[in-house]
Amino acid sequence: MPKSALDFLKPVFMGKLITTDATDDDAALAVFASIVQKYGWDYMDKYAMQKPTYVTTGHAAVSNAIVSGGKLASFDSTTTTFVMHRAGRPIAPVFSEADATVVFLVGAGVFKDAPHPNAARLYLTWLLDPEQQRRSGAFSPRADVGPPDGLRPLSSYNIDRGYRRLVTDTARVTELRKRLSAYTPAR
């Protein structure tokens, strides 16, 4: 199991890596931006030599490819990974001690002019209920809901806190996507 971005460059992972396309997905973009910031662009040259698969169909496709045995590892670890791991599937989230893990938050709210504000409030009440938060298998924003089984509180890991800053910097996002497009197959 890889413990750092450098481990992904080992021969055992040749042709066995999968990730969402960083030119298409903000979370993947943030992951690769963090890696490039630490290891430089020559890391991407070495990573490309591993012949990774890039998908544009979302993070669940990444988890499914690993669970099926078609791929071994990914930088992507989303709620799908946690749910599958909890269900006993052959996949596990790993937090690197060497490299910061990109974390992004998902916000929710009710628009002022929503056509059915009470339905939206009911949904959010259900979604944020402690029981539902525990059932989700992911990290919860609630202080009264602990981390997923077998994991420490999110704040105890090496976390990259630059996601919001990155995705709101249009010039940097444009430059990164353009540069990263050289590493992904043409669609």
CATH of the domain at 137: 3.40.190
Question: Going by C-beta distance under 8 Å and a sequence separation of 6 or more, which residues neighbour residue 76?
Answer: 18, 19, 20, 27, 28, 31, 59, 62, 63
- The pLDDT of residue 169 is 97
pLDDT in tens, 7-40: 999 999 999 999 999 999 999 999 999 999 999 9
First to last CA, the chain: 30
Structural contact between residues 50 and 13, judged by C-beta atoms closer than 8 angstroms: yes
Provide the number of structural domains found in the chain: 1
- The pLDDT of residue 187 is 59
By three-state DSSP, how is residue 38 classified?
helix
Task: Tell which residue, 79, 134, 126, 131, has the closest CA to residue 105.
Answer: 79
The 10 Å Cβ neighbour count of residue 105 is: 8
Run means of pLDDT, 10 residues per run, the chain, 187 residues: 94 96 92 96 97 91 94 87 88 91 87 96 96 89 91 92 93 96 81
Structural contact between residues 167 and 161, judged by C-beta atoms closer than 8 angstroms: no
Please tell me what DSSP assigns to residue 155: G
- The pLDDT of residue 138 is 84
The pTM is what?
0.86
- The pLDDT of residue 11 is 97
Domain encompassing residue 26: 5-183
